[in-house]
Amino acid sequence: MYIESNSALPVYWYRRYFNRKVGIFIHYYEYAEPEQYAREPWNGYCHGKELYLYGLLNWCSHCNSRRLEFFCRDWGVPPELSHVVPNYPPREWQAHFRERRSFSAPLKAVYIGSLSNDTMYVREFAAFVMAQGGRIHWDIFAFNHDGETRRELEELGCPWIRFFPEGVEYDRIPALLDGYDVGILLYRGHSMNYRYNETNKFYEYLICGLDVWFPSSMLLLHGYQKRGTFPCVTMADFGELKSFDWECAASHEGVPCRKPLFAAEDANSQLIAALTAGRGR
């Protein structure tokens, strides 16, 4: 088994020259358009080798059905070998769910993940927070960031925006999220991969009871908008946040709570069963 095209070479060499009976399992966290392989020499070289493996597959999976659909269309992988394995957090995170019937004042927003003005609405959301005059506080945890984006954030000197360049360890995320009301997603949707990205943080925010605000450029999430129960999932035009009624979005008045119950253990069960089917033979 390998993850992503750039990990294909050891499997290619082993399967082609050492053991022609071994099964082939592939999982992709990202979707790469054919043009992307052409632009990236190393990734393209590895992908050229893995095309040989596509004819020998036992299993291929993506994190969501739209990316899987694009992948099968691009490379002719049979649907019966194709699977969806969502990027859910572990079941134990369900114990960290907190019912936020009313939000704090000021409202506390958080973003966890990679950070770049080029591919995300960092600058725009920072301007939106500043315009609220302290009614929203925003914390950013991002160890993977570019210097220009970090410099811009630090030069704002805004008391309501805090940037933590060391990020946060994965196992500490549930305890950290306990102190926030809303989880923010920021992708501009500059590629098919990001327009059809659920992102693991979407599920991590929800499993801990946070509402989620996401930009309309994340096309896959349009169908996940949810106002009838909370945690709520709200779409906004992050390119024009002046028109975003965030106070309405943050209201849970008269709305019942529905605790999310998804878990990585359930999502991975079919893959684990397929991988272990040959044990003892």
Q: pLDDT, tens digit, for every residue of 194-232?
A: 999 989 999 999 999 999 999 999 999 999 998 889 999
pLDDT tens-digit profile of 47-86?
999 999 999 999 999 999 999 999 999 999 998 999 999 9
* pLDDT of amino acid 278: 63
Residues 24/57, Cβ–Cβ less than 8 Å = yes
Q: How far apart are CA 52 and CA 34, in angstroms?
A: 16
Coil vs helix vs strand at 111: strand
| pLDDT value of position 147 | 93
Alpha-carbon distance of 24 to 19, in angstroms, equals 11
CB neighbour list of residue 272: distance below 8 Å, 6 or more residues apart? none
**Cα(22)–Cα(263) distance, rounded to whole angstroms?**
30
Round to whole Å and give the CA distance between 58 and 1: 10
Burial of residue 57 (CB within 10 Å: 0-12, 13-18, 19+) is middle
Nearest to 198 by CA among 231, 170, 221: 221
pLDDT at 61: 97
**All residues at 6 or more sequence positions from 15 whose CB lies less than 8 Å from its CB, including other chains:** 22, 24, 53, 56
CA distance 92 to 98: 14
Q: What was the pLDDT predicted at 159?
A: 96
- Identify whether 231 is preceded by a cis peptide bond (ω within 30 of 0): yes
Q: How far apart are the first and last CA of the chain?
A: 19
pLDDT of residue 281: 34
Using 70 as the pLDDT threshold, list the residues of the chain that sit under it: 278-281
| Distance separating alpha carbons of residues 235 and 248, to the nearest angstrom | 12
Q: Which amino acid is at 278?
A: G
The pLDDT, as a whole number, for residue 101 is 85
